[in-house]
Amino acid sequence: MKSHGQILMTMLGSLSLFPAAAAADGSDDNGALRPRNTVELGIGYQSEKSAAFGRYTGQAEPGPLAVSNFTSIGGSAWDSGQTDTWEVMGTDLGSTSRRVSATMGQQGLWNLSVLFDESPFHQSDTGSVIFNHVGSNVLGLPSGVLTPSQTNAPTTNTATGTASQANGYTLQRFLTRQDFGTDRKTESLDGRFKPSEDWTFNTSLSHEHKEGLQERSLAIGGGRSGDSVFFPQPVDYDTDNFEATANYKLDNVWMTFGYTFSKFTDNNTSLLVPSPFTVTSSATTGAAVSVNGARVPVGTLNQIALPPSNMAHNINLGLTAAITPTTRLNVDFGYGLQVQDDPLLPYASSSHPLLPVLASQLAPLPRTTTNGEVETYHGQVRFSAEPLPKLDLSASYSYDGTDDRTPKSLFKSVDEAEVALWNLDNVPYSFSKQTAKLDAGYRFSTGTRLAATANFDDTTRSIAEVLNQQTATGQFKVTQTIPFGTASVSYQHGVRRGSTDQPGAFFLAMTGTEPTSTQDNAPSFRRFYEADRTRDGYKLGFEVSPADTLSITLAGRLTNDNYPQSPLGLRRSDSWATDADIGYSPVQGLTIHAFYTFEEVATDSNALAGAGFSPDPNAPVPGTGTIASVAYAYGYHFVDRVHTAGLGATWDVIQETLKIGVDYAVSADFSDVKSKGSGLFNIGNSTLTNALGYAASSSVPTAMTFSNSVKLFCDYTFLPGLTLRLTYRYAQQETNDPLLDTGALPNVSAPGVTASYPYLFAGETNPNYNVHLAVASLIYKF
């Protein structure tokens, strides 16, 4: 039960955490029958460019900015007997996260609303690409890249003595700066009509256009060492949605009927990316036919299939019957159909130099369009009741199914990444899940509430290593009323078990042959979401409000996941979190809220590497045998630790005249990847024998992100209805993540080695910023 303290906490919590929001209606909701129209206009200045700072707010560029918000709410007076109502609202009009909405209608009969919303996403502003014609669906290369010999000459790796296939370092000078990001614009029209007491109809029609550039990369030739090059993928999407709902009420029965239609259109079906490298294909194990040694020159177009246009229909029916005033029967049914029938691209772009070589081996496409079709089903029946005072019970059964009806065909495809021919089937994937659940809760007269939940689910997959999986979970929770509040403790235990693991099931479905030792997972490896698992969870919480002006909440959570049948793969995952919240209002007009949360997630994995295993990968069964060191055994230990804290305060220094406030938030996260190696791996006890231990030399340096933000604001009402708002915000982020800061080319420690690596990354740096933002605005209420 929520205490008064928690309600206070909610109110106090609203003081902070939303530094970017500057809605015209502010945070002052007091004042009966006050003016209902508000306009805020102002200017501001931002000190620094940062995609990370303005990722979703649009405040990514330095310089002046405009503040523009307004609200106008009107309609019939409460006691006029009329029901007219209207509202117009605009927020953040001066930025690219603007939103304008208008609603009008007669309450209880109808209303109509229109909306325009713009949502930016600034992905990065420190990257570079080699390509021109950015934004089109055929990228180009700067003229200098295409040398007369049509090669960016392969050079010799001075460290390994092997021939490299490209030379990224000679291409660096062609890189040009490129920002990545997208912008969504949504327009919608919503309506509601209630022709009678029994029926209510709702409908919504929306159109969304999203455009911009996404940062992507691809491998060009060269087998598994791969020549990676980053490129800007054009985003030019349109999504149309239609939704209609009818609600019907008949005495003690409520029904809903819903239909949803969604149409996604990608205005680019494919993207052609020219290779900046000259590459030489290499052996590709598993390919039916390979074309080793063939040379693919600079400028060869690589064909990328962009997200295909698609459609989805969904029908939902819901019924709730009040069998008695405290007994409910819910029945839900849902059916969905997702279709995608884009034309299939040819196996390779027409410029592919190997096409003549491959032509005799390539079969025609088995069909010209995807003919993709997925059906989804959802059904649920639930009884809920209070058969005795203070006793509540519910029981439910649900079924969820996904049936992929896309035809299966054999494709003889050219994998341009590896310049090889593959004979592979596409594998439609279907699955279903049944869930039965029982809930019971009873509150004793002593103020103790005991709740118990039993949950059982059964998952069936059409093609997978684990075809059938059951999970049984039980949970108990005790809530006790204590002086000034409540305390609660809960425990959960869950067991997940699956059918016998079938290694290589997917590979077999694709190729028709059992995978070789180099093509599939190591023996006894289990995928984390298919593996048997035991879960224990504990929660503890206190909510106390010793006075109307003070509330304190303390909470803790611990979850242990064990994977007892996974000698290899994810072995264990432990996470815990703790939280403290304090809300305090020592005097009238002064409110303070502070919180701190710590979260840690630690996981352990074992793995084997190497070209082949001994004995046969499918031979050892879990719990037996030892795999010799022909395969390199190793382990990971991952730890994520996150600290988050915040402090917010507002003070009505002079009531109705002067209000000041501060919001401060700080977050620090640390991620460790520790690695250890071994000579032997013992399947029986899942240990790495002769383990080298977690060594600093092989462990990845701690990745860290530290961010803090402080916002100061002052509202001074110097004339009736006219308020000056001054806001200053400082935000800082420091990130040190080696994976995010690799530069355009790998940072190799040995001199000379750098001369021959065939990579052209975007060369981004960690998204650090130190941004000052000052805003002055006038708010007029009338």
Partner 1 sequence: MVWRSILLLSMINLLLLFSSPPLRAEAASTSTVRPEFARKGALTCMKCHDDAAITQILLTPHAVKGDADTPFGQHDCESCHGASPEHVHSRPPEGALRDPPTVRFSGPHPSSLAERNAVCLGCHENGQAIHWTGSKHANNEVACTACHTVHIQKDPVLVRDRQATVCFSCHTEQRAQSFKPSHHPVREGKVICSDCHNPHGTGQDMMLVKDRINDTCYKCHAEKRGPFLFEHAPVREDCTLCHNPHGSTKPALLTLGVPWLCQECHDGGTHAGNPYNASKIFGNTLVAPAPQAMARGCLNCHLQIHGSNNPSAPFFTR
In the region spanning residues 341 to 400, those forming contacts with partner 1, defined by CB under 8 A, are: 342, 344-348, 365, 370, 372-374, 376, 378, 380, 382-389, 392-398, 400
Query: Residues 527, 535, 572, 772: which binds partner 1 (CB under 8 A)?
Result: 527
Stretch 21-60 residues interacting with partner 1 (CB under 8 A):
21, 23, 25, 29-34, 36, 52, 55-57
Stretch 396-455 residues interacting with partner 1 (CB under 8 A):
396-398, 400, 402, 404, 406, 411, 413-418, 422, 424, 426-429, 431, 436, 438-439, 441, 449, 451, 454
Contact between 595 and partner 1 by CB under 8 A: the answer reads: yes
Exposure class string for 737-772: b at 16+ Cβ within 10 A, else e: beeebbebbeeeeeeeebbbbbbbbbbbebbbbebe
Query: Residues 200, 204, 480, 559: which binds partner 1 (CB under 8 A)?
Result: 200
Contact between 20 and partner 1 by CB under 8 A: the answer reads: yes
- Tokens (6 digits) for 129: 């690409």
Stretch 291-350 residues interacting with partner 1 (CB under 8 A):
302-305, 307-308, 310, 312, 314, 316, 318, 320, 322-328, 330, 332, 334, 336, 338-340, 342, 344-348
Q: What is the dihedral of CA 686, 692, 695, 698, to 10 degrees?
A: -90
**Block residue for tokens 């900046």:** 276
Looking at 76-84, 712-720, 724-732, 774-782, which segment touches partner 1 (CB under 8 A)? 76-84
In Å, how far are 98, 115, 185, 535, 745 from 213, measured between CA atoms?
A: 20, 25, 15, 41, 22
Contact between 103 and partner 1 by CB under 8 A: the answer reads: no
The span from the CA of 746 to the CA of 180, in Å, is: 21
Looking at 165-173, 714-722, 724-732, 755-763, which segment touches partner 1 (CB under 8 A)? 755-763
- Is it true that the peptide bond before 142 is cis, omega within 30 degrees of 0? no
Q: Binding residues for partner 1, how many (CB under 8 A)? A: 229
Contact between 166 and partner 1 by CB under 8 A: the answer reads: no
Stretch 453-482 residues interacting with partner 1 (CB under 8 A):
454, 456, 461, 463-464, 470, 472, 479
Comparing CB distances to partner 1, the nearer of 147 and 547 is 547
The span from the CA of 729 to the CA of 518, in Å, is: 55
- 755: three-class secondary structure by DSSP: helix
Residue 417 Cβ, how far from partner 1 at the closest point, in Å?
Answer: 4
**Element spanning 261, H or E:** strand 253-266
- φ/ψ bin of 570: left (φ > 0), alpha (ψ from -120 to 50), beta (otherwise): beta
Comparing CB distances to partner 1, the nearer of 394 and 562 is 394
The span from the CA of 707 to the CA of 669, in Å, is: 9
DSSP string, 465-517: SS-EEEEEEEEEEEEEEETTEEEEEEEEEEEEEESPP-TTHHHHHHHSS---T
Comparing CB distances to partner 1, the nearer of 191 and 336 is 336
Query: Residues 66, 114, 294, 700: which binds partner 1 (CB under 8 A)?
Result: 700
Contact between 491 and partner 1 by CB under 8 A: the answer reads: no
Residue 520 Cβ, how far from partner 1 at the closest point, in Å?
Answer: 6
**Block residue for tokens 């005033």:** 325
Contact between 262 and partner 1 by CB under 8 A: the answer reads: yes
- φ/ψ bin of 417: left (φ > 0), alpha (ψ from -120 to 50), beta (otherwise): alpha
For residues 22 and 69, the answer to whether their CB atoms sit within 8 Å is yes
Residue 144: other Cβ atoms inside 10 A: 9
DSSP string, 376-437: EEEEEEEEEEEEETTEEEEEEEEEEEEEE-PPP-EEEEEETTTTEEEEEE-----EEEEEEE
Residue 514 Cβ, how far from partner 1 at the closest point, in Å?
Answer: 14
- Tokens (6 digits) for 678: 């071994």
Binding characters for partner 1, 708-747, by CB under 8 A (x = yes) = -------------------------x-x--xxx-x---xx
The span from the CA of 286 to the CA of 612, in Å, is: 13
Stretch 225-244 residues interacting with partner 1 (CB under 8 A):
225-226, 228, 230, 237, 239
CB neighbour list of residue 696: distance below 8 Å, 6 or more residues apart: none
Contact between 579 and partner 1 by CB under 8 A: the answer reads: yes
Contact between 93 and partner 1 by CB under 8 A: the answer reads: no
- Tokens (6 digits) for 123: 């992905």
Residue 142 Cβ, how far from partner 1 at the closest point, in Å?
Answer: 22
CA atoms within 13 A on the CB side of 333: 4
Residue 488 Cβ, how far from partner 1 at the closest point, in Å?
Answer: 9
Contact between 521 and partner 1 by CB under 8 A: the answer reads: yes
Comparing CB distances to partner 1, the nearer of 492 and 667 is 667
Stretch 596-615 residues interacting with partner 1 (CB under 8 A):
597, 599, 603, 605, 607-613
Contact between 497 and partner 1 by CB under 8 A: the answer reads: no
Residue 554 Cβ, how far from partner 1 at the closest point, in Å?
Answer: 10
Comparing CB distances to partner 1, the nearer of 149 and 280 is 280
